[in-house]
Chains A and B, each alone.
Chain A
Amino acid sequence: MSLTHKELDEMLKTVRIPERSADYWKHFPMHVISQLRDQPILRSENKKPSVAWRWGFGLATACSIALLILFSKQGRDERKPPPDQVAHYRKVFQEIDLLFPNQVESITSELQGLKIVLTDKPQASASAPLLLRICDGDHCRDVITFSGQQIQIGQELCDVLVDSRGHIIVTGRQMIWCSEDAMSGDSRITGQLLEAS
């Protein structure tokens, strides 16, 4: 009697994948990363705070105080920032970037105010800025940042990446989110490129 479709499937399913140790899974990412370290695209910058950085941060903070009032009045209930708020963020970024060209690492707007993080010196290749809204319950914060930077979401330090079509990927140890299809189903995040009108 010839094999039926179901019988064949059952036979195929008898092939199991040999298990690897927990130690293997723990070390595999580090092993890959160690191979990548020689790649020129993996940039490692020393970001020790300097006098110039502190001075710059002070100026930026002063600048942000005025803007804080503006942002604090914006509604925070909606998941996605409305166009006028995005326009405001674009303006904020432009003003701060004008003061500190290619030094803005992130600008975070939350209830406590604006938090601006600058790099020690201008970065060689500045990519397009992007805007992320991260919500935890009713509380939301908006982050202007770039591909390649890291942001804190809950207990996780997450990487922010942007592909060539402008899709934003946010990935941590326990989650991954993509602006194209929100693959993780993580409803805490919305995002868009800041340059897009």
Chain B
Amino acid sequence: MFGALIQNHQQMIHSLTYRMTGSMADAEDLAQETFIQAFKRIQTFREEARFSTWLYRIAMNASLDWLNRNARREATQKEWVYSNADNSAGETRAARVEGALLKLKPKQRAAITLTVYEGMNHAEAARILGCSETTVSWRVFTARRRLKQLLQNDHDGETLMEEWT
């Protein structure tokens, strides 16, 4: 009975959980957890303007819990850095960006995931995160500031390369 709902939203939820965890296996676990929770709580679906927003919220809460409760976050970070060490320049850069994202605080990462990757405005992100629009804006601002610090060296290196060539 629930199969169609999962089919319709599975890629969206996997995408979100992957952005939050940086791990395929954990993204899968969290996506499963999301749909199981959604099934159990279908009677509580309310207030949200869209069903997908409600699902996003469940997935985001599950991801934030995951990030907050375990030290696997650090392990994942290492996994990312090492698994991409021998890749091409583009992939290595992506790995460094992913590494920088994983260094953000969970709520900052959530704000960046929703606004940058899922293309939501701050009001939509606020509905999913259960906070005010101002709070989202602040988290996006601080996350961007931190990311710029972390990725500045990469950027400087690339600019230098462009000038030489």
Q: A-side interface residues toward B, CB under 8 Å? A: 1-3, 5, 7-9, 11-18, 20, 25, 28-33, 35-36, 39, 41-42, 148, 150, 158-159, 161, 163-165, 167, 169, 171-173, 176, 178, 180-181, 183
Q: Are A164 and B8 in contact (CB under 8 A)?
A: no
| Chain B neighbourhood of A167, CB < 8 A | 45-46
* Chain B residues close to A by CB (< 8 Å): 1-8, 10-11, 14-15, 18-19, 24, 28, 31-32, 35-36, 39-40, 42-47, 49-52, 90, 93-94, 97-98, 101, 112, 116-117, 144, 147-148, 151-152, 154-156, 159
Decide: B1 and A150 in contact? CB cutoff 8 A. yes
Partner of B42, one of A15, A163, A181, A183: A163
Residues of B within 8 A of A13 (CB): 116
Q: In chain A, what residue has the closest Cβ to B47? A: A165
Q: Which residues of chain A are near B45, meaning CB under 8 Å?
A: 163-165, 167, 169
Contact present for A28 and B94 (CB under 8 Å) = no
Give CA–CA (A18, B25) in the complex, Å.
Answer: 11
CA distance A178 to B144 in the complex (A): 36
B3 x A29 contact (CB < 8 A):
yes
Q: Are A165 and B46 in contact (CB under 8 A)?
A: yes
Q: When the two chains form their complex, are residues A17 and B46 in contact, meaning their CB atoms are under 8 A apart?
A: no
**B94 in contact with A14 (CB, 8 Å):** yes
**Bound-complex Cα distance A178 to B5 (A):** 12
